[in-house]
Structure 1
């Protein structure tokens, strides 16, 4: 089994959601693995085979397993405003300018899928985390982080919106509006994250999102102050 958590924007809480789901399904007796195709962070963690994003190391801990480079096969470590070190399957590949990374991406889908398939062979369930938002459709060509990966691996997607910052209806309905039909077809439902207070106050908004998108609402997740 496989599922992918994508966000209707950056910082919607994807990493913590994936960690929580990893822990939940591990406690249910499943063998679970986290996976993030591409991460951009200087907060790296030591893993078997090299280094990965710290969030994936936390998610591995939630699964009760040691972190491995296959859990985050592409790690971008910024070195300036316009350049980053490219780590592939735990090892430095090169350093590129942001503009040049677009020409490198087509070469990276193969190692990403290679790592993903190894994780699948080890697990009952792989929970994938996207990066940023699929609504950044200007980055869709050769994408390995969001819908490009979802389509290539045929992984169903749950789209998450952040209600704490406001505008969650526009986040979710707007994402559907800008995605291509092929990408929209990968979405199985949506989550509302970071809700403070009485969730019943959002019932009308929740139903509106379902009606506008045709997606199934999968829940409203309360604010987690310790995240």
Structure 2
């Protein structure tokens, strides 16, 4: 039977989504479920290196530990590491993809959705439950086009929010 998935979105950054997912991951793991955390896109300089040498956001590594599983690059397939005032290094499935300014990244996002969906599918194939964390605010109208972090991902992956 395929895994269930549930997505958590919030009203902004730093409102507790990561800790809610970590807490639920531990609670469901304690009940014997195979839980996998997933965040399609994260912006953070706080990265952790996985066992295979890839980078993911530190919050997703914490969530993996809460679920009692080793962190993998598929738990955070797109990591944006800020560079300067308006740009970021783009890490895709743990490896450097390139760098882009904010406006350029809007054009890159559609090319990243297949990798995001691939990572999600891989996690679902090895889990009873995938807990998905959105990024920032779900209502940022300026980021809605080609969204891969919130409702755009939820629709593409058919995940309830």
Fold shared by both chains (TM-score > 0.5): yes
Q: Between Structure 1 and Structure 2, how many residues are aligned? A: 157
SS of residue in 1 equivalent to 2:137: coil
Matched, 1:7 2:10: yes
How far 1:48 moved relative to its partner?
Answer: 3.3
Q: Which residue does 1:22 correspond to in 2?
A: 25
Q: Does 1:44 pair with 2:36?
A: no
CA distance in 1, matches of 2:151, 2:126: 24
TM-score (norm 2): 0.96
Aligned residue number for residue 216 of structure 1: none
User: After the TM superposition, which segments of 4 or more aligned residues of structure 1 sit over 4 Å from their partners?
Assistant: none
Q: Distance in 2 between matches of 1:48 and 1:91?
A: 13
Structure showing greater Rg: 1
- Residue 110 of structure 1: aligned partner: 114
Matches within 5 A, 1:88-167: 88-157=92-161
C-alpha deviation, 1:122, in angstroms: 0.4
Unmatched segments (≥5 aa) in structure 1: 158-227
The alignment yields a C-alpha RMSD, in angstroms, of 0.7
TM-score by length of 1: 0.68
Q: Do the aligned residues in 2 keep the contact of 1:48 with 1:69 (CA within 8 Å)? A: no
Structure 1 Cα separation of the partners of residues 22 and 149 of structure 2:
18
1:156-214 C-alpha deviation (Å, 9 max, x unpaired): 11xxxxxxxxxxxxxxxxxxxxxxxxxxxxxxxxxxxxxxxxxxxxxxxxxxxxxxxxx
What CA distance in whole angstroms lies between the structure 2 residues aligned with 1:26 and 1:137? 35
Q: 1 CA distance for matches of 2:124 and 2:51?
A: 17
